Amino acid sequence: MNLSDQAESESPKTVSVIVQDGKEFKTHRHVLSEASHFFEKLLTSNMKENNEGVIRLEYFTESLMKDVLEFIHTGNVCISTGGNAAELIAAADYLCLSKLKSFAGKFIEQTMSSSNCVSTYFMAEKFYHSELLDSARKFILSNFARVAQTKNFPRLPSHEVEQLVSSDDVVINSEEDVFKAIIKWTIHKKSERSKEFCNLFRHVRLTLLSRDFLLNDVVTNEIVTGSEECLGSATHALAWMDRAAYGDLSRSFPPRKALEKCVIAICRKHEPLENPLFYLPKKGDIFRLQGMAKTDCVPEHVFSCRGKLFFISKEIDKSQYYDPDFNCWHAAPWTKTDSEINWLHWRVMGRPVRRKVVVVQNEICFIEEDLDEVSSCLWKFNLDTNSTSCTKDWLETTRICAVTVGKYIYVIGGARDINIIAQCSKFDAAENKWEKLANLNMARFDALGVGTQEKIYVAGGWLDFDECTNTCEVYYEFTDEWHSMGRLTVFRPFGNMVLIDNSLYALGGALHEFFGNVWSIEGYDHEKDEWIEKERTLFVENITQYKASSFTYLKNGSIKLKRYKVLFQQ
């Protein structure tokens, strides 16, 4: 049924809508009134339009008005081009037709490109289309390197450019893209924007630029040299590059996520450290890190901290770390001081002691568990001050699962004498305060664990001293509750659990009966709530247990890797 058939021209229930060139449309009053507050106000008050039954929209073309009325009557309309969609958004904004505005906005979202996303941003802002505005921002963020090269990019306001270049999520090919973008934006209106350049320049992660680019393109740029603050920051970054390869200096900012590669770092436990392995679980690729000199480090633990990969030796004063930015190895920072941490292994010689190592913000924490005394102490080494502190009698439980999130150490399960416990708590490492949490559903010790801001995952471990398990639980921080989740495919005491790109993996461990090694790697499917064993399993001759940690490094950095071909078997 067409629009003219839907309206009775002589009925007082109808109204005429007159557009450009005097073209007239007749439609029902109540249909227009129900569609928007704009028409409702005109047709339910003592206004001229209501009294005469005529609404004049002379800025609307015939085709545009036909599309608007089509949508009002049917909830649908054929949109052929981006220009057509833009006209409908403008009309919908004027006529207070929120559903039509959203409908047309979805068409533009689907056809967004590097060349039109900036104009889309301005259109969405002009017509208060919050959904489309958010989509335009996300598109620019996800395609920043290409968008920054378009002629429309310099039209963006300074606060939007700042939001983009300050984000960890901005997608670029290298940090140079950010510098080039703010230079282009500034030059577009140089006399007006030179003062704003310095504020944008603060967000360029200068230590992630190449040294050649800093020397040839940054410190020589006239806009940079025109600001004492900007030039000082650039020269300081150059000085950092010259010193960092020989010291323990960390970058001021982490790399953008688009420039990082996330892997699982693997090393043998209880054997002299050799070039560790990097495993990419999504591709199933394995690489061996090259260029490591012979060392006395016999690793018991591996973890990443401040972009470096630490290997904690059984003799703790022989611990080392790897710096991927300069592809070099260093002795752990506490070994260069008179820190009491260096003597931990001498204090406990001849006694059954377990050590766990976790990172809490700027501190590396050593949890020393005395299995005879059923107690543990906490040693903390501050990376900023190179200072050591100790909390004795920290916990009257051993064989715990320790997970860190933010400033907290989550202590999950464990053993106390011959009792397996389900108690959980979290320790505020900054304030030295404890907080009790809900108990596990199943008491366990030596479990695997890893955490996010919202959840703590725990898997495997022992239910008794002669019974291991493959059960798993997840803790919800918001509700303080533990819930069961899918079981591991194999039993895993003493294993590793890691998060890579928000994906959960479990690997390693030892079987109880023979203390043989668990070589499989399995990933968790959140939608199916099940663990899926990888197509291939980890297999390296002569390895006893191994330790693993998530590790992130620069894709185009100095790191040297060699594909390792004999790691897996079907």
More confident residue, 486 or 564: 486
Are the beta carbons of 456 and 477 closer than 8 angstroms? yes
Task: Give Cβ neighbours of residue 420 (< 8 Å, ≥ 6 apart).
Answer: 413, 414, 443, 444, 445, 462, 463, 464
Residue of 381, 331, 305, 351 whose CA lies nearest to 549: 305
The region of weakest confidence among 97-106, 364-373, 514-523 is: 514-523
Task: Give Cβ neighbours of residue 502 (< 8 Å, ≥ 6 apart).
Answer: none
The predicted structure's pLDDT at residue 466? 86
- Does 11 have pLDDT greater than 50? no
Q: How do residues 268-298 score in pLDDT, each as one tens digit?
A: 877 778 888 898 888 888 888 887 777 888 8
- 198-201 long-range contacts, Cβ below 8 Å, gap at least 24? 198/227, 198/229, 198/230, 199/158, 199/162, 200/158, 200/161, 200/162, 200/165, 201/227, 201/230, 201/233
The pLDDT confidence band at residue 570, using thresholds 50, 70 and 90, is very low
Q: How do residues 299-350 score in pLDDT, each as one tens digit?
A: 889 999 988 999 999 888 899 999 888 888 889 999 888 777 767 655 555 5
Task: Centre a 10 Å sphere on the Cβ of residue 140 and count the other Cβ atoms it contains.
Answer: 26
The pLDDT confidence band at residue 133, using thresholds 50, 70 and 90, is very high
Q: Tell me the average pLDDT across 29-41.
A: 91
The predicted structure's pLDDT at residue 492? 84
Only one residue has tokens 């021209």, namely: 9
Task: Give Cβ neighbours of residue 449 (< 8 Å, ≥ 6 apart).
Answer: 401, 402, 403, 410, 412, 456, 457, 458, 459, 497
More confident residue, 47 or 544: 47
Q: Tell me the average pLDDT across 235-261.
A: 80
CA angle 163, 165, 168 (to 5 degrees): 90
Share of the chain above pLDDT 70, in %: 90
Measured distance CA(82)–CA(88) in Å, rounded: 10
- Does 535 have pLDDT greater than 70? no
The predicted structure's pLDDT at residue 558? 76
- Does 424 have pLDDT greater than 90? yes
The predicted structure's pLDDT at residue 325? 84
Measured distance CA(189)–CA(191) in Å, rounded: 6
> Average pLDDT, whole number, for the chain?
88
Q: How do residues 390-410 score in pLDDT, each as one tens digit?
A: 888 899 999 999 999 999 999
The region of weakest confidence among 233-242, 336-345, 423-432, 455-464 is: 336-345
Share of the chain above pLDDT 90, in %: 61
The predicted structure's pLDDT at residue 349? 57
Q: How far is CA 488 from the centre of its chain?
A: 25
Are the beta carbons of 295 and 273 closer than 8 angstroms? yes
Q: Please give the helix or strand (H or E) that residue 224 lies within, else none.
A: helix 222-225
The pLDDT confidence band at residue 494, using thresholds 50, 70 and 90, is confident
Q: How do residues 217-242 score in pLDDT, each as one tens digit?
A: 999 999 999 999 999 999 999 988 88
Strand partners, 307: none
Residue of 174, 150, 154, 166 whose CA lies nearest to 200: 166
- Does 367 have pLDDT greater than 70? yes
Residue 175, judged by CB atoms within 10 A of its CB (0-12, 13-18, 19+), counts as: buried
The pLDDT confidence band at residue 459, using thresholds 50, 70 and 90, is very high
- Does 2 have pLDDT greater than 90? no
Q: Tell me the average pLDDT across 19-46.
A: 89
Strand ranges (E), 334-400:
353-360, 363-370, 375-382, 387-395
The region of weakest confidence among 164-178, 325-339, 539-553 is: 539-553
Instruction: Return the structure tokens found at 358.
Output: 């976790």
Measured distance CA(210)–CA(175) in Å, rounded: 9
| pTM for the structure as a whole | 0.81
> What count of Cα atoms within 13 Å lies in the side-chain half-sphere of residue 233?
19
Domains of the chain: 14-111 (3.30.710.10), 149-239 (1.25.40.420), 257-563 (2.120.10.80)
Find which of 137-141, 298-302, 464-468 is predicted with most confidence, using mean pLDDT.
137-141
CA angle 267, 270, 276 (to 5 degrees): 15
The predicted structure's pLDDT at residue 46? 79
